[in-house]
């Protein structure tokens, strides 16, 4: 194990990406969590910070898809249950899904009429979440594959930052600063790629 030496003499544990890179690398590469609290949350913060707005949009899209899917499946199950045997509780749960907001003049008292009136909207939700899921798959297919982080990877990124964007990082540099440099480096690479294509 190549754990970098600790300089945290106060014994505090880090819980955000404001920790030094050495602590983050020790935890990520060597599973040394002695200076880190809730590293899973830190990794999520790191991924969101380094991924930027595009990653946030993908995460939000996944949430939207799952909510639409849950709403649709709940409606489908409740409709099935009501077709087998009427239950006021099931009918109220179906109404709570609020499909009648789209079906003007929906009958909130007669479950059979209500189901007929909202049927198109339930099917539309199914088409919507399937379409969104397909679009998300296409977006994810265009994303780079998940990076395998190693000590060598971080060392090469430090060198790339020095050579391209003229920033020198140390083991005590915060992970937050590293993420900002990574975003600037990506912008630099995109710019250079456009320059090469234009030439």
In angstroms, the CA 25 to CA 118 distance is: 54
SS3 14: strand
pLDDT at 48: 83
Could you tell me if 23 and 35 are in contact, meaning their C-beta atoms sit under 8 angstroms apart?
Answer: yes
Q: Is the pLDDT of residue 8 over 60?
A: no
Q: Is the pLDDT of residue 103 over 80?
A: yes
The CB density around residue 14, as the number of other CB atoms within 10 Å, is: 20
3 state SS for 141-193: HCCCCCCCCCHHHHHHHHHHHHHHCCCCCCCCCEHHHHHHHHHHHHHHHHHHH
For the stretch 30-42, pLDDT in tens is 999 999 998 988 9
Question: How far is C-alpha 183 from the geometric centre of its chain's CA atoms?
Answer: 17
Q: Report the predicted TM-score, pTM, of the whole model to 2 decimal places.
A: 0.55
Q: Is the pLDDT of residue 56 over 80?
A: no
Q: Is the pLDDT of residue 1 over 50?
A: no
């Amino acid at each position: 194990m190549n754990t970098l030496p600790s300089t945290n003499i106060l014994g505090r544990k880090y819980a955000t990406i404001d920790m030094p890179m050495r602590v983050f690398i020790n935890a990520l590469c060597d599973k040394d969590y002695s200076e880190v609290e809730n590293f899973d949350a830190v990794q999520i913060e790191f991924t969101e910070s380094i991924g930027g707005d595009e990653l946030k949009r993908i995460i939000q899209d996944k949430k939207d898809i799952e909510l639409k899917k849950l709403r649709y499946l709940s409606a489908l199950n409740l409709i099935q249950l009501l077709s087998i045997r009427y239950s006021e509780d099931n009918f109220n749960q179906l109404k709570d899904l609020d499909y009648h907001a789209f079906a003007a003049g929906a009958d909130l008292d007669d479950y059979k009429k209500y189901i007929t009136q909202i049927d198109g909207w339930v099917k539309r939700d199914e088409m919507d979440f399937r379409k969104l899921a397909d679009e998300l798959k296409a977006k994810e297919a265009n994303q780079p594959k998940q990076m395998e982080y190693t000590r060598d990877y971080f060392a090469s990124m430090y060198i790339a930052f020095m050579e391209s964007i003229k920033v020198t990082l140390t083991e005590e540099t915060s992970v937050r600063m590293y993420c900002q440099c990574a975003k600037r480096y990506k912008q630099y690479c995109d710019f250079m790629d456009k320059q090469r294509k234009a030439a």
